[in-house]
């Protein structure tokens, strides 16, 4: 089916915009930002909630978010939204720090003020407290590791052709600074026709490892931001281990979406965002450094100091251990870090496995309904167990290289129907002359089946009049 130039019904698409509950929620949101002290709601103990999988339960979760009810926010891949109690605690802690800058009333414990926070979140990620750094974001984590590694001319770094600038930018620095060769692996890209399997991804990495000498690092996204494909991270790390190559995983989209277990995955470094799917405040992230970086000393035994701590005020104090050295970058934003921790606690109480299952359930619904309603649209996110994530990328238009038209489609979807999604651009094949463009939809724990139904209905409606 081609894009239809239709002069069909000019029915009011604005009727899709939801207004009914907007005022109430806007009230909550306004007060949260206005500095007016509100009576805090009693904190919900998510462990105590019965039937933690029922629709009623997820409705209760949804109510914890102050997102504008007149629109449906489906761009968590760019940034998330703090739950109400997290926002309130954040605001209170900001006031406390402003009022008592000297000792912060001992609210965050003793120097370096984050030890308790780290201990609270580490088990939820299958890590020890001395392996978790509360970073600023994924970019911060990736830059700290890539720019800290002691590369030399002739070293090879394997990465993929679908990485984010948060990785490609520091990779470009070490390429020019040290003469490192950065090799982009051609990832299999699902285009809706041929099947893809986890094995296809593992083979792509295996071939690249076997084709290159002196591979010093593998950097890849657990979920690519371009197509929303989840890569078999554990298997790729296992392959790397067989060749004594350390792994650095870009987990911008997995923290808060997947039930992560870093020990089980056995990567060396994992950099993720706190502000996206984990719904913490801006400039928060999680950085995992396995076992004080000790395995790196083993793999890189020919280099005296494989990892320089380039983003630390304590790089000279080796006796403190890498976690504390990397955590301490001077005075920090403790209220923001605490807010991230509160959000993590909510996720842990609900159960990260349940959250992952719920996100994938909604994502599968989204992919299935879109493919059914618009069979000629191109789907770039596999609807396949093990490769699926909470991101859905697809393009309903016949010319997938037409960025302008797709951007207009995205904008009209927001302005006329109230669904907020974004676009992404990528090359299906590394040597493609053109970019392919797609809409990218995020489904999260604060969505429900009706949100997905509404989105698909809106896309179809817009498509037939576009």
Q: List residues binding ligand PLP (CB under 6 A).
A: 78, 137-139, 164, 166, 221, 225, 250, 252, 273, 285
**Which residue's CB is nearer to ligand PLP, number 253 or number 378?**
253
Nearer to ligand PLP, 124 or 280 (CB): 280
What's the min distance (Å) between Cβ of 250 and ligand PLP?
5
Measured distance CA(340)–CA(286) in Å, rounded: 10
Q: Which is nearer to ligand PLP, 69 or 161 (CB)?
A: 161
Cβ neighbours around 71 below 10 Å, total: 17
Question: β-strand 285-289 against 419-420: which pairing, if any?
Answer: unpaired
424 touches 442 (CB < 8 A): no
Residue 408: cis peptide before it, omega within 30 degrees of 0: no
Least separation in angstroms between residue 395's CB and ligand PLP is: 19
Closer residue to ligand PLP, CB minimum distance, 61 or 76: 76
Q: In the complex, what is the shortest distance from the CB of residue 199 to ligand PLP, in angstroms, rounded to a whole number?
A: 23
Tell me the C-alpha to C-alpha distance, in Å, between residue 89 and each of 21, 32, 431.
24, 10, 49
Strand order in the sheet with 247-251: 132-135, 285-289, 269-273, 247-251, 215-221, 156-160, 181-185
Nearer to ligand PLP, 230 or 456 (CB): 230
Q: How far is the CB of 297 from ligand PLP (least distance, A)?
A: 27
CB of 427 to ligand PLP, least distance (A): 16
The minimum distance between CB 436 and ligand PLP, in angstroms, equals 17
Closer by beta carbon to ligand PLP, 89 or else 251: 251
Residue 143 Cβ, how far from ligand PLP at the closest point, in Å?
Answer: 9
| Whole-Å CA distances, 50 to 43, 58, 59, 143 | 16, 11, 13, 43
> Which residues have C-beta within 8 Å of that of residue 1, sequence separation ≥ 6?
374, 375, 376
Contact (CB, 8 A) for 396 and 423: no
| Residues with Cβ within 8 Å of residue 298, at least 6 apart in sequence | 244
CB of 134 to ligand PLP, least distance (A): 13
Query: Cβ of residue 227: shortest distance to ligand PLP, in angstroms?
Result: 11
Closest CA to 185 of 213, 163, 160, 207: 160
Query: Would you say 325 or 442 has its CB closer to ligand PLP?
Result: 442
Cα–Cα distances (Å) from 456 to 58, 363, 366, in that order, read: 21, 12, 7
Which CB, 69 or 162, lies closer to ligand PLP?
A: 162
Question: 448: which residues sit within 8 A by CB, 6+ positions away?
Answer: 55, 58, 59, 62, 362
The encoded tokens of residue 123 equal 């088990």
Long-range Cβ contact pairs of 313-321 (< 8 A, separation 24 or more): 321/130, 321/292
CB of 204 to ligand PLP, least distance (A): 18
Residue 344 or residue 397: which is nearer to ligand PLP going by CB? 344
Query: Closer CB to ligand PLP, residue 198 or residue 229?
Result: 229
- Work out whether strand 247-251 and strand 72-73 pair parallel, antiparallel, or are unpaired: unpaired
Joined tokens for residue 176: 């020019």
């Amino acid at each position: 089916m081609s894009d239809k130039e239709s002069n069909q019904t000019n029915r009011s698409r604005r009727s899709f915009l939801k207004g009914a509950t907007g005022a109430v929620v806007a009230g909550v949101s306004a007060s949260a930002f206005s500095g007016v002290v509100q009576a805090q709601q009693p904190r919900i103990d998510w462990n105590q909630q019965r039937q933690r999988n029922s629709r009623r339960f997820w409705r209760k979760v949804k109510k914890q978010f102050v997102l504008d009810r007149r629109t449906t926010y489906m761009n968590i891949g760019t940034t998330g939204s703090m739950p109400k109690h997290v926002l309130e605690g954040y605001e209170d802690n900001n006031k406390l720090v402003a009022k008592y800058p000297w000792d912060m009333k001992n609210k965050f414990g003793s120097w370096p003020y984050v030890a308790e926070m780290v201990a609270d979140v580490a088990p939820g990620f299958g890590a020890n407290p001395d392996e978790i750094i509360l970073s600023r974001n994924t970019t911060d984590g990736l830059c700290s590791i890539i720019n800290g590694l002691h590369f030399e001319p002739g070293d090879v770094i394997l990465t993929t052709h679908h990485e984010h600038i948060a990785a490609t930018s520091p990779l470009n620095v070490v390429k020019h600074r040290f003469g490192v060769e950065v090799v982009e692996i051609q990832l299999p890209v699902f285009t809706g026709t041929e099947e893809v399997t986890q094995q296809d991804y593992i083979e792509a990495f295996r071939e690249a490892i076997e084709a290159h000498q002196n591979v010093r690092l593998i950097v890849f996204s657990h979920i690519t931001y371009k197509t929303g494909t989840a890569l078999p991270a554990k298997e790729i790390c296992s392959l790397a281990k067989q060749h004594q190559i350390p792994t650095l995983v870009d987990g911008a989209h997995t923290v808060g979406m997947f039930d992560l277990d870093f020990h089980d995955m056995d990567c060396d470094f994992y950099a993720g965002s706190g502000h996206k799917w984990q719904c913490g405040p801006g400039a928060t992230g999680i950085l995992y450094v396995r076992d004080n970086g000790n395995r790196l000393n083993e793999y890189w035994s020919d280099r005296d100091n494989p990892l320089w701590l380039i983003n630390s005020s304590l790089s000279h104090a080796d006796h403190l251990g890498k976690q504390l050295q990397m955590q301490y970058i001077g005075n920090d934003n403790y209220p923001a870090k605490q807010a991230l921790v509160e959000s993590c606690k909510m996720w842990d109480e609900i159960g990260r496995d349940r959250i992952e299952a719920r996100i994938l359930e909604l994502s599968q619904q989204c992919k299935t309904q879109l493919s059914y309603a618009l069979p000629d649209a191109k789907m770039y996110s596999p609807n396949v167990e093990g490769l699926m994530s909470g991101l859905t990328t697809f393009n309903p238009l016949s010319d997938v290289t037409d960025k302008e038209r797709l951007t207009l489609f995205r904008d009209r979807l927001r302005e006329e129907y109230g669904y907020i999604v974004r676009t992404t651009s990528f090359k299906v094949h590394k040597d493609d002359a053109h970019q392919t463009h797609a809409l990218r939809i995020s489904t999260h724990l604060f969505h429900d089946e009706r949100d997905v139904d509404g989105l698909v209905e809106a896309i179809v409606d817009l498509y037939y009049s576009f």
